[in-house]
Amino acid sequence: MAKDISTTTIALVTGANKGIGRAIAIQLAKDHGYTVIIGSRQLSAGEALAFELKSQGYDATSLQLDLTSDESIANAVTTIEQQYGRLDVLINNAGIFLDSTTPDAPALPTRELFERTFATNIIGVACLTDALVPLLRKAHGKPRIVFVSTSMSSLTNATNKGTIYYNINGTAYDSSKTALNMLALNYVRLLEDVGGRINIACPGLVATDMTGHTSFGTTPEEGAEHIVGLATAGEEGQNGTFSGKQGPIPW
């Protein structure tokens, strides 16, 4: 049964049909009783998770959301406005990694690599977040946003040859996530007047489609934990931080 939206916490998770986003949505619904809006490019994929959660007594809806489409973003924002009239929590989780990491994997032409990577990882996130600001400003309590980034976006780590992933090629991905960090810090400023709690999180190395389900990665559930922790922290939760499970990450 749908919850009373005047008392529940309403959270949108982008890219929630699989991987870390899916685990975030499940934890928010099951462990915190949030009303979770599952954003997914393929509506049917999000609906499957919403159905699964609802059949277990949790509150979830699904929303078609493609970050590269202005029409999709506009429709999604209108739907949230009409159904809920506000948004309390936004998890900007959706992202892509298109760089070629091995010599035998064909590389995209550089312009296409950067245009596609930035279209999803930064431009789409900026368009969605901007369009949701009016609804975030109506949040019950302080609006919260978690930007899912990576320690590979750290300028400090990128200049340290001892960093474990120093030799992993992520030219476009890393750059897009560094830009994402800067975008996030701008929302710290833009939502300061309403006490926004805006943070940047790295899930660590996680076994998902993005990483080819690497055996070195944690489970999506473990990767989601820190992100969910930031999203569910109380009114005095952190603000303007860049961190992972182990603690702060250098900018």
Contacting residue, 3, 5, 8, 18, with ligand NAP by CB under 6 A: 18
Q: Measured from the CB of residue 244, what is the shortest distance to ligand NAP in angstroms?
A: 9
Q: Measured from the CB of residue 46, what is the shortest distance to ligand NAP in angstroms?
A: 9
CA distance 241 to 182: 11
Contacting residue, 10, 20, 90, 127, with ligand NAP by CB under 6 A: 20
Nearest Cα residue to 175 out of 214, 203, 149: 149
Name the H helices within the chain.
19-32, 43-55, 70-83, 110-118, 125-136, 155-158, 171-190, 220-232
Q: Looking at 77-85, 92-100, 106-114, 160-168, which segment touches ligand NAP (CB under 6 A)?
A: 92-100
244 lines the binding site for ligand NAP (CB under 6 A): no
Nearest Cα residue to 194 out of 249, 133, 248: 133
User: Taking CB under 6 A as the rule, which mask of x and - marks residues 110-149 in contact with ligand NAP?
Assistant: ----------x---x-----------------------x-
Residue 84 is among the residues annotated as catalytic for this protein: no
Residue 177 is among the residues annotated as catalytic for this protein: yes
CB 227 within 8 A of CB 146: yes
- Strand 89-92 versus strand 247-248 pairing type: unpaired
Max Cα distance, the chain (Å): 54
Q: Measured from the CB of residue 215, what is the shortest distance to ligand NAP in angstroms?
A: 12
Q: Looking at 5-13, 94-102, 181-189, 229-237, which segment touches ligand NAP (CB under 6 A)?
A: 94-102
Per CB under 6 A, residues contacting ligand NAP are 14-15, 17-21, 40-42, 65-68, 93-96, 120, 124, 148, 150, 202-203, 205-206, 208-211, 217
